[in-house]
Structure 1
Amino acid sequence: MAQIAFRREVELFISEALSPQARSAHLAQGARQILADMIASGEGSRHHQRIVDGVSGALEDSVRPEGLIVYRFSHWATVCQFAISFLTARSPERSGRYRESFFFGFFTAEGQDRARFVPWRDVVPTAITADVTKVMIGNFQPYGRKVDVQVVGRETIKFSVAPGIFDDAARQINSRFAGIVSARRQYNVDLGARRYIAKRGTRAGKAVESPALIITQER
């Protein structure tokens, strides 16, 4: 019995009467067909990692007669492109600084921060690897929270766009990609060396709060 492992496991039963080379060929052919069917149905993605008998990137044809082919699908390219398109479209237009100041952070299941902060224009969505389990999108501008909530103390302030940019982005993502990822607004993220320290007011000397969008993989 040979196997092709996806999110769900698929088993192909191949006749033991066939030669080892023929069994490998049947397994490789079956894997490619199931992959194509899953991509066509939307259950799979064209962006995936292929692992053959434990070797990442190996071709299906190299599988052993009783081997294992694994496809790890990644929907991050589509999700991240949608998210950043929404956020930049909802950004104030006056100077363009806020729109150009979004950044990505990528995390694996082990909690590793793959790239601490990457400006959004430097991110290639199709290059996001399948082992990423969480993505953060924030903004470097010190007035980012003001754009998001449009309230300072008890006073309402206005920008050229509606408030709630991160909550609205999360709702759109959860609606469009239900069952694939879940998104939420995080109240504050630590920008490290990029954080801005307030110079006056009741928060003088403290880091300015910076909200962000957190997207977590479900599949």
Structure 2
Amino acid sequence: MMARISTFARDLQLATAGIAPENIARELAAFAKRELLRAIHEGEASDQFDRYVNGRVGVPEESVQPPGPILYVFKYWREIVEFALETLTERSPEKSGRYKQSWFVMLPGGGRVQDIDAIPINATVIICNDQPYSRKIDVGHMRMSVPPGVVEDGRKAVLSRYGNIVTAKRTMIQLPNGYVLKGRFRRGYRPYARKKLRKDTQAGAQMTYPALVLSMKVS
């Protein structure tokens, strides 16, 4: 991403060579807008962005004071998060629909995200399902209409499409007011399923939930 920004700045400098001083601002604005449309059309950039002109946010390109800069900060979180949620939902079992409808987005510390567009570019984004049986579904401890590995498949799908700009990993997390285990053991149906409770699954332990953790790459 930084390489793209530095190339863009160099192109702007070259584009102004030989232009009459009174016309430079107009040419800079026109060139920036052409490059923006080209980048979006060719899939190099998101169509969601903040525009900065001489450090002022939201003002039109035509207000630029040479040599600028005109800077576009692209917002990828909505596109990525919506794709991840769609993938996880489609991959979910749907006997009652409760699990399928229980995916949500949060930030570290437990705060659920209400507005995806407000997520900072450098944030860590967590997508999780808070149903008390979500871990059993994901690890395959209970027989379901779908194979286990829901979150892992979501991780692979995100990396396949957005791996050039985002990192994705599957991990286990605790949730605020999460489910407290009752310590009742029933052996899973899969081969080599464990034969007894682990310490973190005994009565009174707070359950950990499978989660997909996303962060933007810094280059």
TM range (shorter): 0.7 to 0.9
Unaligned runs of 5+ in 2: 185-196
Q: 1:16 to 1:209 in 2, by over 3 A?
A: same
Equivalences for residues 45-194 of structure 1 within 5 A: 45-106=46-107, 116-118=111-113, 127-129=117-119, 131-151=121-141, 157-186=142-171, 188-192=172-176, 194=177
> Does structure 1 retain, via aligned residues, the 8 Å contact 2:175–2:208?
no
Q: 1:179 to 1:17 in 2, by over 3 A?
A: closer
Q: Which runs of 4+ in 1 moved over 6 A?
A: none
**CA–CA separation in structure 1 for the residues paired with 2:106 and 2:71:** 27
1:46 deviates by 0.7
> Does structure 1 retain, via aligned residues, the 8 Å contact 2:77–2:121?
no
> Does structure 1 retain, via aligned residues, the 8 Å contact 2:105–2:126?
yes
Across the aligned residues of Structure 1 and Structure 2, the Cα RMSD in angstroms comes to 2.4
**CA–CA separation in structure 2 for the residues paired with 1:212 and 1:218:** 19
SS of match in other structure, 2:50: strand
TM-score (norm 1): 0.79
1:200 deviates by 3.2
Match of 1:18 in 2: 20
2:189 paired with 1:206: no
**CA–CA separation in structure 2 for the residues paired with 1:183 and 1:6:** 23
1:6 deviates by 5.5
Q: 1:7 to 1:34 in 2, by over 3 A?
A: same
**CA–CA separation in structure 2 for the residues paired with 1:106 and 1:41:** 31
> Does structure 1 retain, via aligned residues, the 8 Å contact 2:139–2:148?
yes
Q: Which amino acid aligns with 1:117?
A: R
**CA–CA separation in structure 2 for the residues paired with 1:67 and 1:211:** 46
1:47 deviates by 1.1
SS of match in other structure, 1:159: coil
Q: Which amino acid aligns with 2:152?
A: D
Q: 1:165 to 1:8 in 2, by over 3 A?
A: farther
1:93 deviates by 0.9
> Does structure 1 retain, via aligned residues, the 8 Å contact 2:174–2:207?
no
1:199 deviates by 2.8
Q: 1:63 to 1:129 in 2, by over 3 A?
A: farther
Q: How many residues align?
A: 196
SS of match in other structure, 2:213: strand
TM-score (norm 2): 0.79
Unaligned runs of 5+ in 1: 108-112, 152-156
Match of 1:154 in 2: none
**CA–CA separation in structure 1 for the residues paired with 2:118 and 2:54:** 23
> Does structure 1 retain, via aligned residues, the 8 Å contact 2:168–2:213?
yes
